[in-house]
Amino acid sequence: MAAKKLDGSDRDTALAALTDRGWSLVDGRDAITKRFVFKDFNEAFGWMTRAALVAEKMNHHPEWFNVYKTVEVTLSTHDVGGLSDLDAKLAEKMDMLAG
């Protein structure tokens, strides 16, 4: 899957949908972030495992940090130097997996 950098109206549309679902822009870089909070560590780790399988299939890997029941995710595409359609797709899949 080749990444396409989001710009213009495509970027505006994608960001509107992402921010409606709790994603926000990262200060100082062209990236989005979201904090997922689960019931416990088992639920958080299970979600990370499912998200990792999706990311691997997409060949698009998140930056993430996990402590107990919280997972902080940052998405950006290094190959295009910022936000891409792959980030929007992976964010949508992560949200669906989180329920």
Let me know: does 81 contact 5? Beta carbons within 8 Å. Answer: yes
- 75 within a domain of the structure (yes/no): yes
Q: Which CATH number goes with the domain that contains 77?
A: 3.30.1360.20
Q: What confidence score (pLDDT) does residue 2 get?
A: 83
Cα dihedral across residues 88, 56, 97, 29: positive or negative: negative
Q: Any idea what DSSP says for residue 23?
A: -
Residue 5: pLDDT band by 50, 70, 90 thresholds? very high
* Nearest alpha-carbon partner for 70 in 36, 22, 23: 36
Residue with tokens 């899949």: 93
pLDDT at 3 over 80: yes
**pLDDT tens-place string over residues 23-60:** 999 999 999 999 999 999 999 999 999 999 999 999 99
Within a domain: 32 = yes
Statement: residue 1 has pLDDT above 80:
no
Positive or negative torsion for Cα 32, 15, 87, 6: negative
Q: Mapping DSSP to helix (H, G, I), strand (E, B) and coil, where does residue 2 land?
A: coil
Does the residue 92 lie in any domain?
Answer: yes
Residue range 64-96, pLDDT digits in tens: 999 999 999 999 999 999 999 999 999 999 999
* CA pair distance 30, 22, nearest whole angstrom: 17
Higher-confidence residue: 1 or 15?
15
